[in-house]
A and B are shown apart, each in its own frame.
Chain A
């Protein structure tokens, strides 16, 4: 039986939520679930191409713990999910427009393209939708 696709809307830029999205996306993808991640609002800032780790990963007490204990890097988890499974990542076209960014200003090799929320939600009717 085909696995139910997992759709993740990531709109928080908090490190903890970016990390959870990355963990869910990577584990879902390697468990043979098609996964699609839609990155919008503050979350898009966590994917700025030239950001340092401190700029990219801002959060609360658990973020500090994850950094101190060297939890798996969220961007690497997304990369591994793409490499080892069926994981697609979409940059919200509205967020790019508001920020004045193009795809070139996001971390290379992660995003499959810009996408509108209407298209993403239409696709997501076929699966399970999680918002972070």
Chain B
């Protein structure tokens, strides 16, 4: 597996982190993971919801000191 792509969207407000994640997901092959860092509280809840709706796989959501790490595996 290639090294996980990381999107640093800290400081961006909704829906910035989601849009950055989607743009990154388009560029990786199916099966690869993308990690997004978001300091936006709403995005920490909304991004997993989008992942479910878009039928990708949520690998994990982890609160860090002042942001969330959300990891998604591209499923299709």
A positions within 8 Å CB-CB of B: 23, 26-27, 30-32, 66, 69-72, 77, 80, 84
Of B18-26, B29-37, B59-67, the segment with at least 4 beta carbons within 8 Å of chain A is: B18-26
- B13 in contact with A30 (CB, 8 Å): no
Q: Which of A27, A69, A80 contacts B23 (CB 8 A)?
A: A80
State the Cβ distance, B46 to closest chain A Cβ, in Å. 8
Main secondary structure of the interface of B (DSSP, over half): helix
Q: Which of B19, B50, B53 contacts A80 (CB 8 A)?
A: B19
Q: Which of B11, B22, B53 contacts A84 (CB 8 A)?
A: B22
Main secondary structure of the interface of A (DSSP, over half): helix
B positions within 8 Å CB-CB of A: 11-16, 18-19, 22-23, 26, 50, 53-54
Known: A30-B50, A66-B13, A84-B22. 16 other contacts (CB 8 A): A26-B15, A27-B15, A27-B50, A31-B50, A31-B53, A32-B54, A69-B13, A70-B11, A72-B13, A72-B14, A72-B16, A77-B19, A80-B19, A80-B23, A84-B19, A84-B26
Task: Report, nearest first, the 10 A-B pairs whose CB atoms are least far apart.
Answer: A72-B16, A71-B13, A80-B19, A30-B22, A27-B15, A84-B22, A31-B53, A23-B15, A26-B15, A72-B13
